[in-house]
């Protein structure tokens, strides 16, 4: 408009002068607009939420309307897995894009190397604000102790977090540079959501995009500590169990699942609240949202609880990528077996940030754009069984497993252990190891497993060999002892 106005009323020499000036300003504006249009990144990480426990995944026991809506508008990696299905290893892989035998966090309650090239450090260099809220579990200095500002926070600048706690009411956290212990007032899932909303709303005054991880502690056990309003929604007697829960665990599993679903219902409400605030702040259409979990929970399936094992309820996790429309990436279900270490390179690629050569995971952006086929096969690993999977008490074992879009094959140090046809046997009730009709399949999966182990440099040694290499101290159950 200015150009037309001056064209009509000023001499030609003025027109030329002003046109040059306007063009320069226009260029500056375009550059600034491009910077401002860089996408925000919000990773919503939950703890011990198995992929099957979703309304959109067909669970008959729970309604998750907000996540169902998010899934409908997202790329849904329905076969995504946690490469080492336990807390700290997943988190270290998320932050580094590396597999556990590379970053060394193959057990809980050990410290991730503070020299690691992490997702926060990379985003910082690209001018992003970085923030972390909630459970960390990567510091190894005691579960209720402060993760001190500086290198131990692995590049995250904003911080309202705790190392690890499963007390979800009046739980501990630390606020940025304040060394004093703080307490979330009430159910921490609610308060952490509010903290994330405050962070998001404050971004409107910042010229920089942000990358934030919101790390909830729920729906991890204890299962019966959600607010009463949510616990009252679920009657254990009406819970429909998965077919692989044995009779001796059915009563307990129904009771625990009722509490588990109560946590999930509360989380779904909070995720809906969070997304609505993204919309209200005008950031939703320019924010990449990843929703996932660090591992699942057996909750009675296969006669066990919690994680570490290669069964579907333990290893398969939700993995939604809500990607702004400007990327022109189709939404919907995808079959690829996205793994833990793939999240970092995929997010960097979506933000047009170079992927460090330290990263071992796959960049799934070309796959989502339909330009490349990857993710037909991936690995599951247990380096050293511990905790609820410790060798002494529960017969835990080291294993390496290969997963395709149809099969799961696991081998322990003693030999072939599990072989399931997940399409024809989705509850993994029939172990095909040693079955005469599956000899060729077992041989092929064994070959595929060792090919991948060779590719990744995994010698598949006894767990204590790796424990010795990394200098970890274990108790009598093979677990790294921790304090509060």
Q: Which of 7, 22, 103, 137 is catalytic?
A: 137
Rounded CA-CA distance 218/413 in Å is: 33
What is the per-residue burial (b if ≥16 Cβ within 10 Å, else e) of 263-285? bbbbbbbbbbbbbebbeeeebbe
Token pair for 322: 């809500």
Q: Is 38 helix (H, G, I), strand (E, B) or coil?
A: coil
Rounded CA-CA distance 227/237 in Å is: 20
CA neighbours within 13 Å on the CB side: how many for 215? Answer: 27
| Tokens 């894009």 -> residue | 97
Rounded to the nearest angstrom, the gap between the alpha carbon of residue 290 and the centroid of all alpha carbons in its chain is: 8
List the alpha helices (DSSP H) in 61-134.
65-72, 87-96, 100-103, 119-125
**Torsion sign (Cα): 161, 214, 105, 90:** positive
Rounded CA-CA distance 331/74 in Å is: 5
| Tokens 């209720």 -> residue | 144
Rounded CA-CA distance 49/64 in Å is: 13
Q: Which of 7, 14, 22, 87 is catalytic?
A: 87
Strand order in the sheet with 172-175: 182-183, 172-175, 158-162, 129-135, 210-219, 40-47, 287-293, 319-322, 75-77, 332-334
Let me know if 137 is a catalytic residue: yes
Task: Please give the positions annotated as active site.
Answer: 87, 137
């Amino acid at each position: 408009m200015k150009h037309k106005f001056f064209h009509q009323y000023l001499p030609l020499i003025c027109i030329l002068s002003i046109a040059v000036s306007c063009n320069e300003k226009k260029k500056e504006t375009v550059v600034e607009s491009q910077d401002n249009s860089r996408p925000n990144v919000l990773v919503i990480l939950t703890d011990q939420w198995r992929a099957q426990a979703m309304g959109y995944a067909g669970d008959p026991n729970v309604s998750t309307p907000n996540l169902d809506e998010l899934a409908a508008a997202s790329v849904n990696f329905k076969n995504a897995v946690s490469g080492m299905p336990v807390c700290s290893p997943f988190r270290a892989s998320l932050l580094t894009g590396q597999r556990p035998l590379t970053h060394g966090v193959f057990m809980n309650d050990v410290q991730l190397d503070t020299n690691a090239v992490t997702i926060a450090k990379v985003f910082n260099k690209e001018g992003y604000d970085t923030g972390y809220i909630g459970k960390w579990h990567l510091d190894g200095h005691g579960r209720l102790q402060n993760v001190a500002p500086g290198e131990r926070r692995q590049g995250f600048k904003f911080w309202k977090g705790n190392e690890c706690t499963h007390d979800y009411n009046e739980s501990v956290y630390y606020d940025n540079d304040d060394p004093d212990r703080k307490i979330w007032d009430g159910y921490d899932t609610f308060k952490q959501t509010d903290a994330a909303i405050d962070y998001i709303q404050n971004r409107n005054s910042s010229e920089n995009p942000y990358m934030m991880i919101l790390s909830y502690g729920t729906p991890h056990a204890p299962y019966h500590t959600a607010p009463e309003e949510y616990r009252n929604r679920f009657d254990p007697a009406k819970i429909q169990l998965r077919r692989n829960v044995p009779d001796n665990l059915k009563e307990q599993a129904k009771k625990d699942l009722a509490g588990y679903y109560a946590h999930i219902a509360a989380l779904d409400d909070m995720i809906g609240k969070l997304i609505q605030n993204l919309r209200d702040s005008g950031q939703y259409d320019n924010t990449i949202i990843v929703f996932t979990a660090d591992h699942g929970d057996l909750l009675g399936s296969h006669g066990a609880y919690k994680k570490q094992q290669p069964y579907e309820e333990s290893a398969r996790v939700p993995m939604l990528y809500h990607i702004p429309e400007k990327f022109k990436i189709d939404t919907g279900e995808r079959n690829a077996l996205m793994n833990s270490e793939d999240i970092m390179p995929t997010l960097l690629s979506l933000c047009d940030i170079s992927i460090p050569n330290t990263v071992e995971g796959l960049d799934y952006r070309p796959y989502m754009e339909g330009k490349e086929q990857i993710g037909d096969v991936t690995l599951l690993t247990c380096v050293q069984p511990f905790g609820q999977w410790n060798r002494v008490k529960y017969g835990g074992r080291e294993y390496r497993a290969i997963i395709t879009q149809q099969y799961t094959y696991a081998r322990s140090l003693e030999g072939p252990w599990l072989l399931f046809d997940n399409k024809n046997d989705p509850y993994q009730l029939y172990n095909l190891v040693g079955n005469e009709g599956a000899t060729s399949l077992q041989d092929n999966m064994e070959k595929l497993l060792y090919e991948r182990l060779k590719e990744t440099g995994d010698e598949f040694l006894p767990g204590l060999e790796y424990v010795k290499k990394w200098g970890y101290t274990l108790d009598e159950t093979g677990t790294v002892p921790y304090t509060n």
